[in-house]
């Protein structure tokens, strides 16, 4: 944005309001997380008696200890890591090859496939739970992590494919043609030239699918009934009993559940930076 040539006062107002708005958004977005943290370290006996305070007068780690040692939460957590991680990797691999073919090839039935993929995204998930349960039950895939992974992958592939396709569309065709002339097959060109350049897209897709699968509740609740195959969003519900809600423990579990998502994004964030292909072709 070009504000040069203006007086320092105007610059100050411009950048001041700029940062004020960003700051307001950040506060708005992060406050619930702060509250999560605050409640999770508040001892149970003063949770309701102190009124609304920004920070409790006493803090405690006992909620965390309870969640980690006395509850099933570590188990739920592991289930979620397996389900979300596998879903993210499988979905991204499928979406990468599908998106590449959509981006580069013209083939018979392409329009129909794209239309079908769009149609799958049009229905509310609630509508599909009964039929999916009917399909999975005879296969023995209800109440299992494998079933969840299959369902999540199926529902995430269409969107992930369109996402990957748009990233492949952004990479000049010339690059893989040059690679093919240089001595690669098309698949080698895809793997050695196109895929490294699409890493931001791969990272974005991985992150998107991972968080979607990580926080999914509806299917996890409906398709899984046993403790041993529950994921953590279902596990969080177990802190709500008929007569009370154990907020301290629930929030502690919530904070712990944030860790893998944060770690995952920390891991992929450097690939999320765009602009890797700048300068590939003369512009």
- Which residues here bind other proteins, judged by CB under 8 A? 172, 174-175, 177-185, 193, 196-197, 276-282
> Judged by CB, which is closer to other proteins: 151, or 171?
171
Question: Nearest approach, Cβ of 180 to other proteins (angstroms)?
Answer: 4
> Judged by CB, which is closer to other proteins: 81, or 175?
175
SS3 assignment, position 94 = helix
Which residues have a Cβ under 8 Å from the Cβ of 214 and sit 6 or more positions away?
A: 80, 84, 257, 260, 261
| Residue 231: Cβ within 10 Å count | 28
> Judged by CB, which is closer to other proteins: 8, or 109?
109
Angstrom CA distances, 210 to 90, 129, 265, 274, stand at 11, 21, 10, 20
Question: Nearest approach, Cβ of 186 to other proteins (angstroms)?
Answer: 8
Question: Nearest approach, Cβ of 175 to other proteins (angstroms)?
Answer: 5
Which residues have a Cβ under 8 Å from the Cβ of 114 and sit 6 or more positions away?
A: 102
At which residue do the structure tokens 């599908």 appear?
Answer: 98
> Judged by CB, which is closer to other proteins: 127, or 278?
278
Question: Nearest approach, Cβ of 204 to other proteins (angstroms)?
Answer: 18
Question: Nearest approach, Cβ of 187 to other proteins (angstroms)?
Answer: 11
C-alpha of 53 from chain center: 32
> Judged by CB, which is closer to other proteins: 83, or 179?
179
CA triple 72-80-27, angle to 5 deg: 100
Structure token pair of residue 278: 């700048």
């Amino acid at each position: 944005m070009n504000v040069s040539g203006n007086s320092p006062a105007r610059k100050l107002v411009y950048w001041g309001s700029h940062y004020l708005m960003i700051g307001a958004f950040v506060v708005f977005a992060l406050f619930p997380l702060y509250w999560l943290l605050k409640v999770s370290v508040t001892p149970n006996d003063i949770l309701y008696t102190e009124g609304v305070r920004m920070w409790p007068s006493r803090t405690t780690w006992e909620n965390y200890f309870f969640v980690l040692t006395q509850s099933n939460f570590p188990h739920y957590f592991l289930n979620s890591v397996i389900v979300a991680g596998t879903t993210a990797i499988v979905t991204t691999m499928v979406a990468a090859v599908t998106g590449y073919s959509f981006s580069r090839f013209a083939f018979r039935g392409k329009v129909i496939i794209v239309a079908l993929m769009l149609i799958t995204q049009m229905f509310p998930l609630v509508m599909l739970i009964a039929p999916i349960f009917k399909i999975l039950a005879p296969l023995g895939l209800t109440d299992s992590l494998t079933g969840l992974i299959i369902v999540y992958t199926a529902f995430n592939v269409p969107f992930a494919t369109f996402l990957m396709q748009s990233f492949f569309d952004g990479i000049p065709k010339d690059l893989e043609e040059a690679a093919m002339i240089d001595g690669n097959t098309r698949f080698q060109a895809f793997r050695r030239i196109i895929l490294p350049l699409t890493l931001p897209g791969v990272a974005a897709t991985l992150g998107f699918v991972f968080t979607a699968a990580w926080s999914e509740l509806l299917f996890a609740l409906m398709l899984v009934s046993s403790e041993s195959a529950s994921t953590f969003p279902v596990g969080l519900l177990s802190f709500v009993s008929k007569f009370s809600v154990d907020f301290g423990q629930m929030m502690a579990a919530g904070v712990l559940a944030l860790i893998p998502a944060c770690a995952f994004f920390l891991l992929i964030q450097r690939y999320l930076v765009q602009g890797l292909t700048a300068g590939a072709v003369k512009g």
